Structure 1
């Protein structure tokens, strides 16, 4: 028992060192990378500032529910309330969220069957993944989505092994927060459902855990649904579903994000917006579905292209002329990405890793990729599932080290 406690203390010491490395990476990004909020960041900032100013949750374009409310409500609004419109304070909070993800990688790896080495490798792989430092500079919802999604994965992996109404309740809370923060993450409901099917619990226990999780998730998200019913006339999580579906499925769609001005709807978009955000979203949704029905082959080809874009190595260049430092960072990013991808793919080749816990990790990757095959791809959207690749890389490397030791022992 004493030996076990000492081992656990050493593990947490190593984890603290790894987390410190992650914080150092993020601090370096804050010191060396200049970024001015733009695009979606301005919308989230406006939502938080308007809420604090007594104007309700309204974005920079005057929409009341175009964007998911979670990041603005749970991160930006409290920070702005305490420190004013201080971007440094927001980035420090993003850094803390990143630190939580490092610890969650360790815990998820443990639930996925990793031993001490695999857990620490998973945490280190994420701590040193370069985009973490850069994206921590952004006022982006992914900073909150990532720890919430990893929390759901931990719960699903635990429930697949050990029935627990407490874990189901926690999972429901995380799903409720994810519903408010990033709809794409609700694809993890499939993972939770499969985990419950794998659970050793009775059918009645599985049903009760599922109902409990869904009830808690609904309890957390329902106030926002009721607010939207009163303000915009529809109980929706956001009003960008039809908009995003149309951007990904129209005669000008490429698979990547394009401006609506580049689509057939471009010339009439301003007029459509004036009909209200709910009506505009519904109109674009119907136009996207009409295009899909009329062009099923093109839709399937485009969906496949989106999957390829989603997992394409980050070989793209930034805006403007890149400095030598930026070129080096981008090269290292590509190398890290390929290593993580190789680690994930490698789990398919190791017989001892072909078990239900790793299968749940693969299911999460498939579901999250599938969502973006319906809409469009921005490279930033891939970040919430990259920690899962870090976990899989930890499992693979640990298995390779164990196999090498076994071979060495047989030779001796």
Structure 2
């Protein structure tokens, strides 16, 4: 339910921002601040998109619009922060257990996924929210200090898994056997098409220097940043799909009435990059993928 609401709010943010770029108005800035505030309440990583909006306001010298956006966002955000302060004794603006992923995604010998160890499970069962948040950040800092190279490796692995075509959705608890496999197969086909066409669209934007869409590129870069340094899960790709769909549509429209698929070099470059990334993930995690496939038949 929260994922669906977050996707709606994310799409609303993109739509309002694009409207503002075309026809600047203070009421649009206020509406954008409202959508951003609600999106942050649903999923805190939405806050990473706000600097992109403010950068445009700064370039356009829309100071009043920038103030309106921030004021409305804070008006929505502060009551939740105050509530957590009253309940837990500290502000906790991003939820009660937001720091836990920093720990379970970054430890010596980890794989960068949301797979807590026995130590994580026991600590979470024994202590409260304040202690979990504090200890999670402490352990994350220790890991960064003692294993910087391993943190870099885990970050690269998370980037690889995030965009891997061998990480489809469909591992739902209410599906079993062939039915689940068909659902996963349809998800995989969709992921392949969206990733390839979106990357081709991004490459075309870069090649043609279409500055109109640079802001969408910036939003696309900012969307998964927190995932790359915490934990990667397939469902965490949901927020980037609306943006990728825009780039995919841009590429298809750019071909015009003549579908020059075979002669489109950027398309084949995108195919090569997406499948190469997937092949790396397949090579590194072949055991896990086999284990999951064996459960379908």
Contact 2:155 2:228 (8 Å CA) reproduced: yes
Other-structure match for 2:289: none
2: CA distance between counterparts of 1:301 and 1:382? 20
Other-structure match for 1:358: 213
1: CA distance between counterparts of 2:56 and 2:101? 30
Cα deviation, residue 269, structure 1: 4.0
| Alignment of 1:337 onto 2:191 | yes
Partner residue of 1:382 out of 212, 237, 245: 237
Contact 1:185 1:368 (8 Å CA) reproduced: yes
Alignment gaps of 5+ in structure 2: 261-297
2: CA distance between counterparts of 1:404 and 1:166? 41
- 1:16-95 correspondence runs (5 A): none
Deviation by residue 1:51-72 (Cα, 9 ceiling, x = unmatched): xxxxxxxxxxxxxxxxxxxxxx
The SS at the match of 2:224 is helix
Instruction: Give TM-score scaled by structure 1 length.
Output: 0.57
Instruction: Give TM-score scaled by structure 2 length.
Output: 0.78
| Alignment of 1:231 onto 2:83 | no
Other-structure match for 1:284: 136
Other-structure match for 2:21: 160
CA 1:266–1:252: 2 relative to 1, 3 Å? farther
| Alignment of 1:170 onto 2:31 | yes
Other-structure match for 2:146: 294
**How many correspondences in the alignment?**
256
Other-structure match for 1:222: 78
Other-structure match for 1:254: 111
C-alpha root-mean-square deviation of aligned residues, in Å?
Answer: 2.4
Contact 2:34 2:69 (8 Å CA) reproduced: yes
CA 1:265–1:153: 2 relative to 1, 3 Å? same
CA 1:169–1:403: 2 relative to 1, 3 Å? farther
CA 1:209–1:319: 2 relative to 1, 3 Å? closer
Partner residue of 1:400 out of 255, 259, 279: 255
The SS at the match of 1:148 is helix
Cα deviation, residue 265, structure 1: 4.1
The SS at the match of 1:151 is helix
| Alignment of 1:367 onto 2:228 | no
The SS at the match of 1:347 is helix
Other-structure match for 1:183: 44
Other-structure match for 2:285: none
Cα deviation, residue 315, structure 1: 4.4
Cα deviation, residue 326, structure 1: 3.2
Deviation by residue 1:113-164 (Cα, 9 ceiling, x = unmatched): xxxxxxxxxxxxxxxxxxxxxxxxxxx4111000101111122223333322
Contact 1:157 1:195 (8 Å CA) reproduced: no
The SS at the match of 1:258 is coil
